[in-house]
Amino acid sequence: MSVVEAPAALPPLQALRRAACLPPADFRLAMRRLAGAVCIVATTDGQRPTGLTATAVTALSAEPARLLTCINLNGSTFRGITESRRMSVNLLATHHADLAGRFGGAGPGTGELFETALWDTLTTGAPILRDALVAFDCVVDEMMVAHSHAVIIGEIKAVQLHPGRHAPLLYADGRYTTLHPQGNPNP
Ligand SMILES: Cc1cc2nc3c(=O)[nH]c(=O)nc-3n(C[C@H](O)[C@H](O)[C@H](O)COP(=O)(O)O)c2cc1C
């Protein structure tokens, strides 16, 4: 068993807070190693849908059923969610790589982008991708602004599970990829 020796004294918190944080380029380089499941987060005002590709999505709690996502404040999707207070989180499969590319592009994720796939609604009216691996239909419960992004907590009102067994679309090392069964430590 290896034992990590404790330092004589911890650096004071105030000094740590004042110290510069990681530069953006180093942050991006390091985060390339954080493999993420690729989702489309979408909303609508009833007329015009908006949505974007997002990997900053995580489960939060089972009771109540909640998830969270982190969305850039400068985009049309954030503005849409702020107004409608509802959103869907659609988990993508490998055959959705092109769709992920389109919704993750530089342009706003509005209008005709949605015409390149089939969408339904469940409970809230937010756009639900028909062949998503799973789609969560949420009402926004809380929103916390943190610098450039907002942490948005969604309470899950309905879910759509795809009956097929498609492999999930992942984003790692700056590219789309998936799980490789031969690399599974618990086959
Ligand atoms: C793989 C991938 C993951 C992304 N993850 C996020 C994310 O978690 N949150 C976010 O705000 N933007 C994320 N983006 C960027 C948005 O998808 C992109 O900026 C989009 O065009 C913004 O659309 P909007 O203007 O409608 O908000 C990601 C892009 C890619 C390609």
171 beta partners: 36, 176
For residue 1, the model assigns a pLDDT of 54
Is the C-beta atom of 72 inside 6 A of ligand 1?
A: yes
pTM: 0.93
Q: Which of 53, 77, 84, 177 is the best mutation target for the ligand 1 pocket, counting ligand atoms within 8 Å of the beta carbon and taking the most?
A: 53
Q: What is the DSSP letter of 170?
A: E
Is the C-beta atom of 104 inside 6 A of ligand 1?
A: yes
Q: For the chain, which residues make up each domain, given as ranges?
A: 38-173
Q: How far apart are CA 176 and CA 44, in angstroms?
A: 27
Is the C-beta atom of 43 inside 6 A of ligand 1?
A: no
Is the C-beta atom of 84 inside 6 A of ligand 1?
A: no
Is the C-beta atom of 38 inside 6 A of ligand 1?
A: yes
Cα angle value 170/61/104 (rounded, 5°): 30
Domain 38-173, CATH among 3.10.20.70, 1.10.10.10, 2.30.110.10, 3.30.300.30: 2.30.110.10
Which residue, by CA, sits nearest to atom 7 of ligand 1? 54
Pairing of strands 149-161, 66-72: antiparallel
Tell me the backbone φ, ψ of residue 48, rounded to 5 degrees: -125, 115
For residue 32, the model assigns a pLDDT of 96
Tell me the backbone φ, ψ of residue 83, rounded to 5 degrees: -80, -45
- CA neighbor of 171 nearest in space, from 64, 63, 34: 34
Walk along the chain (187 residues) and give the pLDDT tens digit of each residue. 567 777 689 999 999 999 999 999 999 999 999 999 999 999 999 999 999 999 999 999 999 999 999 999 999 999 999 999 999 999 999 999 999 999 998 655 566 899 999 999 999 999 999 999 999 999 999 999 999 999 999 999 999 999 988 999 999 999 999 998 777 776 5
Alpha helices in 32-110 (DSSP H): 76-84, 97-103
Is the C-beta atom of 172 inside 6 A of ligand 1?
A: no
